[in-house]
Chain A
C-alpha cells in the first residue's frame, strides 16, 4: 500500500526551479532515504509534503487523500510528523514538557501523556535529563530530543530532516539502531548526508538533483549508479 505519493510536485522561487515535476511514491512501512547534493531541493520537497510551504504546481496524496490544500497542522493530525533540519525546540521549557507538547495533541489524560513521554525519552536515551531546560542540553542531545518529539506522536509517516547532523559517532550508531527498530511500525522518510547512516538504515533510496529525481533503488544499486556518482563527485567530462 502506498502511504504517500506526489504527482508533478514543483516549486519555484523567483524563477529558480527548486523542485521540478517530482513523482514520488512511498509504500507504508518503508524506510526511505532522500539524498542529494547541497541545494538539490530536499528540504523544499519535504516542506511541501508536510505543508510548511505551498507547491507552485502538483499534488500531495497522503493515505489516499489529496492533502495539497490542507494547512500544516491538519496534515500533522492526519499522522505526519516532522523534525526540523535546524534544531527547533522549546528552549526555555523542560525536556519532558517539550515531548509532552508533542504527545498531548493526540493523547488525553496526564497519566497517558506521562507514560508516552517516558517511553519516547527512554528510546532516545534522554530519560535522565527529563527535568532540565531543553536549552541547556548539548547540541547532539537537542537533536535526540527532536527525534523523541517525533516518535511520541506515533506518526504514520515520520519525516526526519538531517537528524544525525551534529551527533557523535556513538550517538549515530544508537540512532541507526533506533531507526531499524522502528522498521515495520512506522514509515520513515529520512533526509541524510551521512552515507553510512543511509546504507545501514534505509530500505530504499531516492536521489534528488537540481530539483528532480535522478535515481531510485536499493542502497547498493544507488551506490553503483554512475549518474549518482557524477552528481556527487562531478562528472568526468565536465
Chain B
C-alpha cells in the first residue's frame, strides 16, 4: 500500500468514525466533541504556520477573534445572513493576516513571537475599547433565530455536531492537500533550512506570507463557526490564553503532523475534564501530565507515533 493511500484511509477513517460517533455518544460527550472539532480546526490553522512553516506565533487569538467578531458584528449590526456573516468573518481574518503578516514577517525568531503577541494584544484592547459595540468582556449572545443557516437551526445539537464535523473535515483535508502540493513542500523546506530554500530560487517572504494567510484564514473561519454554533461572541477569545491554547494543542498532538492538532485538542480537553471530576486541583494533574508528555514524547503524540512506527504519516 502506498503512503498516499494509507494516509487517505487513515484520515478518511477518522472522519467516518467521527460521523458514526454522533449516533452513539451520550449528550454530554456529544456536545464536547462538537466543541473539540471546532477548536481542533483552529489548531489545524495554527499548525500550518507553526508545525509546517516553522514560525511560532504567540498571537493567533487575533485571527480566531477576527473571524468571530467579523461574523458576530455582521449579524448584530448589519443583519447579515449566517452564511454571509461567516464569509465576513473569514474575510476579516484574511485581511488581518495580510497586514500583520506583511509587518511581522520582517522579523524572525523571538522578535516574531513578540510582534505577533503585541498585535494580538492590540486587537484585544481595541475590542475592549469599543465596548459600546462589542460589549467588551461581557460579550454578546447571537440569538437562536439568527443562527438558522439555509433552514438548518445550528443551535440544535445534532445540526451543530454536523456543522462542526463539516468544518473539521474541510480544514483537515485542506491541510492534508496543502502539504502534498509543491507549495506545501516549500513551506516544509523553509522550516527545515530557509537559506537553502532561498538559494533554490524560492521567494521566502511570499511563501511565508501565504502561510500566515492560510493559517489566519483557517483560524478565523474556526472562530466564526465557533461563535455561530455556540451563540456567543466575547473578548475572552481574543485574550492571550486563546493564543497559547493552539500552541499547546499542537505541541501535545504533534507539530507538523496532520492529525496532531485534533489529537492534542481532544487529549487536553478530556485531561482537564476528567481531572476536574477528581479534584479541585485539576490544573495540577493537567500540568504534571503535560510535563510528562513533553519529557517522554518530545514530538507530541502523533509525532512520536511517526518517529517510532509509521514514517509515512503526513
* Most interface-central of A71, A84, A89, A104 (chain B CB within 10 A): A104
Q: Which residues of B sit under 8 angstroms from A91, Cβ to Cβ? A: 192-193
Q: Which residues of chain B are within 8 angstroms of A82 by Cβ–Cβ distance? A: 199
Minimum CB–CB distance from B200 to chain A (whole Å) comes to 5
Are B200 and A76 neighbours in the complex by a CB distance under 8 Å?
A: yes
Residue contact B202 to A73, C-beta cutoff 8 Å: yes
B313 at the A/B interface (Cβ < 8 Å)? no
Contact B197 A76 (CB under 8 A): no
Q: How many A-B residue pairs have CB under 8 A?
A: 51
Chain B contacts of A235 at CB under 8 A?
none
Q: Does A153 reach chain B (CB closer than 8 Å)?
A: yes
Whether B192 contacts A77 by the Cβ 8 Å rule is: no
Q: Which of B192, B198, B200 contacts A93 (CB 8 A)?
A: B192
Least CB distance, B304 to chain A, in whole angstroms: 15
**Are B201 and A101 in contact (CB-based, < 8 A)?**
no
Binds A, one of B35-43, B157-165, B181-189: B181-189
Identify B201's interface contact among A52, A77, A93, A100, CB under 8 A: A77
CB–CB B199/A89 < 8 A: no
Q: In the complex, are the beta carbons of B198 and A73 less than 8 A apart?
A: yes
B204 within 8 A of A: yes
Indicate whether B79 reaches chain A with its CB closer than 8 angstroms: no
Asked whether, in the complex, the Cβ of A101 is within 8 Å of the Cβ of B199, the reply is: no
CA distance A92 to B185 in the complex (A): 13
Q: Tell me which residues across on chain B come within 8 A of A92, comparing CB atoms.
A: 192
**Cβ of B273 under 8 Å from chain A:** no
Q: Does B195 have its Cβ within 8 Å of any Cβ on chain A? A: yes
User: Which residue of chain B has its CB nearest to the CB of A100?
Assistant: B185
B201 lies within 8 A of A76 (CB): yes
Task: Give the distance in Å from the alpha carbon of A149 to the alpha carbon of B200 in the complex.
Answer: 8
**A84 near B201: Cβ-Cβ < 8 Å:** no
Contacts of B6 in A (CB 8 A): none
Indicate whether B203 reaches chain A with its CB closer than 8 angstroms: yes
Verify if A210 is at the interface (C-beta below 8 Å from B): no
Determine if A117 is an interface residue (Cβ-Cβ < 8 Å).
no
Which B residues are in CB contact (< 8 Å) with A218? none
B196 and A84: CB pair below 8 A? Answer: yes
Inter-chain contact B203/A73, CB cutoff 8 Å: yes
Q: Are B188 and A72 in contact (CB under 8 A)?
A: no
Partner of A105, one of B188, B192, B201, B204: B201
With A88-B195, A89-B193, A92-B192 as known contacts, state yes or no: A102 contacts B185, CB within 8 Å: no
Contact status B203-A101, CB under 8 Å: no
The reply to whether A90 and B203 contact each other, CB–CB distance below 8 Å, is: no
**A90 contacts B193, C-beta separation under 8 Å:** yes
Q: CA of A82 to CA of B185 in the docked complex: distance in angstroms?
A: 20
Known: A88-B196, A89-B193, A91-B192. A104 touches B204 (CB 8 A): no
Binding site for A on B (CB under 8 A): 182, 185-186, 188-189, 192-193, 195-204
Q: A88-B195, A105-B202, A106-B201 are in contact. List 10 more A-B contacts (CB 8 A).
A: A52-B199, A73-B204, A82-B199, A89-B193, A91-B193, A100-B185, A101-B185, A105-B200, A149-B200, A153-B201
**Which positions in A face B, CB cutoff 8 Å?**
50, 52, 71-73, 76-77, 82, 84, 88-93, 97, 100-102, 104-106, 149, 153
21 contacts between A and B (CB under 8 A): A52-B199, A71-B203, A72-B198, A73-B202, A76-B199, A76-B200, A76-B201, A88-B193, A88-B199, A90-B189, A90-B193, A90-B196, A91-B192, A97-B185, A100-B185, A101-B189, A101-B197, A105-B201, A105-B202, A106-B201, A153-B201
